[in-house]
Chain A
Amino acid sequence: MPLEPIIQIENLTKTYRGSDVPALNNISLTISKGEIFGLLGPNGAGKTTTLSILCGFLRKDFGVVKINGFSIEKESNEIKKIVGLVPQEIALYETLTPLENLRFFGKMYGLDNDKLRQRTDECLTLMGLDKSRNKLIKTFSGGMKRRLNLIAGILHEPKILFLDEPTVGVDVQSRNVILEHLNEINKKGTTIIYTSHYMEEAEQFCTSIAIIDSGEIIVNGNPGELIRQNEGCTSLETLYLLLTGRKLRDN
């Protein structure tokens, strides 16, 4: 039985003002409910542009995008209620404590005091930040900040979670905790769409991936199946290099 689609993208095209080259060139994708979907590609491939359009930060030029059946243009407020975002930046207030940050974002999401307290306690404990809840974030290590960055994105228990390189620059222990927690929330029904440059991580973590380059989807499917389909590929990283080349991508 085919899985129910939660994100449908058809012929999505976006060209930035002043650029001749489209950042996204007629891409089509379907992401099913409950998936952990990895959007992979070199720098400038179009990953962040795709996430920005899905989150409503950027307008598309052409194409159709639906999230949980809602149109991103006409029903953006409905979409915003069911999505969460973990940006690549540490999107927190450094001079506030974790508790103050989470209370702020939780209340902005409309969580009541009891629910907010329960979620805050639960998430801080799971992420190993319970003892640091009253310390200023600016005193935290990179790993602690990343873990808290994740909590701020999932506090309101979104149906769909967008993660833009959530494990970049963190130690192995923090990465392990983050991925374990993401697996937990996925099991509870949250669909995860994430971008990463860590191919090994994506291979283990994702149920489905798309490799995007120069604004076009090159391949899309289950990582294990994609590796098997391409002769000589032993891992997602070898597949990725085969498809995107070894040339440096600085821009």
Chain B
Amino acid sequence: MKRLITSIHKEFLILIRDKAGLAILFLMPVFLIFVMTLIQDNTFRELDETQINILFLDLDGDSLGVGIEQGLKSSGFFAVTTKMENAELNQESMNRLVVEGKYQIGIVVTAGATETIRNKAKSVIEQQFSDEDIGNESKHGLKESGKIIVYFDPVIKNSYKQTVMMALQNFTNNVEAKINFEYFAKEISDQLSTENKLKFNSEGGVEIEEQYATGKLTETFPNSVQHNVPAWAVFAMFFIIIPLTGNIIKERDSGSVLRLKLIPGSYLVSMMAKVSLYIVVCLIQFVLMLIVGMYILPILGTPVLSLGPHKFALVCMALAVALAAAGYGVMLGTIAGTHDQAASFGAVSVIILAALGGIWVPVFIMPGIMQTISLFSPLNWGLEGFYELFLRGGGFTDILLQIGLLVSFSIVMILIAYQYQRIKRI
């Protein structure tokens, strides 16, 4: 124990005198959390907080044009512009403004769009109440030329595009239903020779209630902070492998390892000291990142990070991730021939494991094969464990699988390092 404390003290002195290493360990992760959370904040915010800029041109001037404009404005999802300050808004200028990226979407309701709906409704209703076969042609002789044209900026996300198209479809359906209903009611009144007292009600009969699926009592809702802080915390904690492998390789290159190997049991103690110290470093990193999520990011307008009710489970989870990261660092530092090799392979491998683990892109949108591969990434185990605690309100028993996998990973890594050392003696 005395030798372990001596070794930890030595490692501590080396660490605190390495200013660049300290910056990598503590400032970079905090910076990473800042940048990634703020960048991704919009994606996770409710749509009414991040309105889509829409140019709207109503050439119809009738029920459809008015209905769509009102619908777009009242939905709160869209910032609707109908007039330009210094130029006339027409189809040509709208197309240009969207191409230039000044607006993401342009919508034109062409002249006669409502009339087209009316004619069609009239035709259908009359067809229903007539014995003659009128056919598909409008007997009113009006050409069905009205339509809605939507211009999209090519860089716009598909999800935004779908949101706009669905909203337009919804508003158009409402107007169509209203017009159909009016014609239908009028026709019934005419047939029955009574006054039309039927009123159109566009509200649906079935209520749609939105809830997040969780078996636990939690008031935490998914947002950028709840997603990003644990995700980038896991990523940053695994980045301790860079200074840790550097430390191991430097010790080996300097020959200090030879001295240690000549002192019975001290090499093992020295490795234990490194693992212990870097686990503490990981935990400090984690606490720093939680502080950023709880107190600093909210100043910049993000939601406040909620840790969930199970603090003990949170500490265990952080400890398991730290252990896995330290184990990986020990393995890499033992096997790598040079510091450059370890640093470049270490950094790239963590980025790959992070990508596979769902840190960059959620696992559920990956192709099937990648979703299967992601199950083998220790960063995925860490992330899933934190999501269980942060988003699903889970407790210690809910993260036992992840903790088990991470601890096993660490043990396997250390055994590989040990075995490699033995082979090297031959």
The chain A residues found within 8 Å of chain B, CB to CB, are 17, 55-59, 77, 80-81, 83-85, 87-96, 100, 103-105, 107-110, 136, 152-153
Contact = CB atoms under 8 A, between A and B. Distances in A.
A90 B14 contact: no
A56 B254 contact: no
B73 interface: no
Contacts of A152: 259
Contacts of B14: 93, 95-96
Given A87-B255, A95-B17, A107-B6, A81 B261 contact: no
B13 A100 contact: yes
A56 B262 contact: yes
B3 A107 contact: yes
6 contacts: A56-B261, A87-B259, A91-B259, A96-B10, A100-B13, A136-B17
B258 A100 contact: no
A95 B246 CA distance: 14
Chain B interface size range: 20 to 34
Contact of B255 (A17, A89, A100, A136): A89
B199 interface: no
A17 B426 contact: yes
B259 A90 contact: no
Given A55-B258, A56-B262, 8 more contacts: A17-B426, A77-B264, A80-B264, A87-B259, A91-B254, A93-B256, A103-B6, A108-B269
Given A59-B426, A83-B262, A93-B14, A108 B256 contact: no
Interface string B229-243: 000000000000000
B104 interface: no
Contacts, number: 76
A91 B255 contact: yes
Nearest to A96: B13
A45 B246 CA distance: 32
Interface in B193-246: none
Given A80-B263, A95-B14, A104 B254 contact: no
B140 interface: no
A92 B254 contact: yes
Contact of B258 (A57, A81, A94, A136): A57
Contacts of B157: none
Given A87-B259, A104-B10, A107-B3, A58 B266 contact: no
Given A58-B425, A95-B18, A153 B2 contact: no
A91 B262 contact: no
Contacts of B374: none
Interface string B273-290: 000000000000000000
A85 B253 contact: no
Contacts of A105: 259, 263
A194 to B, nearest CB: 15
A151 to B, nearest CB: 12
Contacts of A57: 258, 261, 425
B402 interface: no
A95 to B, nearest CB: 4
Nearest to A88: B255
B415 to A, nearest CB: 20
B7 interface: yes
Nearest to B6: A107
A84 B261 CA distance: 11
A95 B258 CA distance: 18
Contacts of A56: 261-262
Given A57-B261, A108-B266, A152-B259, A93 B10 contact: yes
Nearest to B267: A108
A94 B254 contact: yes
Contact of B3 (A17, A90, A108): A108
B167 interface: no
Nearest to A156: B263
B425 A59 contact: yes
B426 A153 contact: no
B260 interface: yes
Contacts of A55: 258, 261-262
A107 B254 contact: no
A153 B259 contact: yes
